[in-house]
Amino acid sequence: MIKSSGAALPQPGEGMRGEGGHIGYLLRQAAAGQHLRMERALADLGVTPPQFVVLTMLAAYPGHSNADLARLALLTPQTVSVIVANLKKASLVEARPHASHGRIVQLQLSAKGEDLLTQSKARVRELEARMLEGLSVAEEQTIRRWLARQAAGQD
């Protein structure tokens, strides 16, 4: 059995959890922090961060299937199926059969879903604005470009 050294664990941003840490860990830590802030900001609206992502992707790319949404939202198809079922139950998403593929169902936001997404996006934009405070437009653009390159697998 491994025993604790008794030393205090570093807080986010300290020690190996700070600037000297591995960049991959820092990205994961930052993503986890943002996820928690989103959970708190959206809680009273009854929206979880994964639901927010699915609603956002559905608004940006309407008419896609659950499988497409899973790829766009970086979630498993099983997770998206549960999310979509809950969103349908809440009348936030509407489903219609695909014109030529009988087994494919196309999804779109309902008016109620659009309203909820508008409220949710306003809160998430506030979080993002706070996250970017103190950065110049050029610095923000550099970060965005780098993150997009990393997501695309471009070194």
- Residues with Cβ within 8 Å of 108's Cβ and at least 6 positions away in sequence, in order, are 58, 62, 63, 93, 94, 96
Question: pLDDT grade, residue 1 (50/70/90)?
Answer: low
What are the domain boundaries of the chain?
A: 23-152
What is the pTM assigned to this prediction? Answer: 0.84
23-49 pLDDT, tens digit each: 898 999 999 999 999 999 999 999 999
Residue 99, CA distances (Å) to 64, 106, 123 in order: 12, 9, 36
Matching CATH number, 23-152, of 1.10.10.10, 3.40.50.300, 3.50.50.60, 1.10.357.10: 1.10.10.10
DSSP 8-state secondary structure symbol assigned to residue 107: E
